[in-house]
Amino acid sequence: MAITYPLSLPNQTTIRSVEFRAVNAVAYSQSPFTFAGQTHTYSGQQWQIDITLKPMRRDDAETWVAWLLSLRGRHGTFLLSDPISNSIRGSATAVSISGSAGDETVAATATNGQTLKAGDFFSLGTGSDSTLHKVLVDFTGTGSAADLEIWPALRKTRSGVSADLTSAQGLFRLVSNETAYSVNQLAVYGISFGAAEVV
């Protein structure tokens, strides 16, 4: 059976830690004389991650090694969510999102009184269309469209798209064409890798 992308993670319970980095494309110049600075913000925004797996024995480790190799370096893509906080802390059960590509403030429609909390993850789209976003400011639904501040900005125009509030995930690819893992004298495997959001 041919490998098709994006792949799903083999087993999220074997993840020991995930470091998320929110990267913004901002140019900053500073005078060496007055220290006054000037910024210019570009549209580039991207999630970057480093994942470290728990030490594991061969039976579990080889599944991960095969998964990493099947990505063929930076060629393949996979879906990733925060293993701890991929569901919201707010009370919203359904939210629809509308906005244009590049919007950091989107129109969100939720039932009156239902909430999203600052820091909640949600995703839009499925499969290779998945984008992972974070809520920046507490939001309370009004029953009609209201402003919602998000990061990163919308990758594409969305119109009435249902946000995934319970299993938010984004589309990622490895940052290197090298796949490495270690095995010690006790036959314990060590696996870690870095990835970046597909933009």
- For residue range 102-147, what is the model confidence (pLDDT) as tens digits? 999 999 999 999 999 999 999 999 999 999 999 999 999 999 999 9
3-state SS string over the chain?
CCCCCCECCCCHHHEEEEEEEEEEEEEEEECCCCCCEEEEEEEEEEEEEEEEECCECHHHHHHHHHHHHHCCCCCCCEEECCCCCCCCCCCCCCEEEEECCCCCEEEEEECCCCEECCCCEEEECCHHHCEEEEECCCEECCCCCEEEEEECCCCCCEEEEECECCCCCEEEEECCCCCCEEECCCCCEEEEEEEEECC
**Is this model's pTM higher than 0.75 or not?**
yes
Identity of the amino acid at 111: T
The domains located in the chain, with CATH, are: 1-84+171-199 (3.30.200.190), 87-168 (2.40.30.290)
Q: Give the pLDDT confidence of 61-99 residue by residue, as tens digits.
A: 999 999 999 999 999 999 998 888 778 999 999 999 999
What is residue 193's predicted lDDT score, i.e. its pLDDT?
96
Give the chain's radius of gyration (CA, Å). Answer: 19
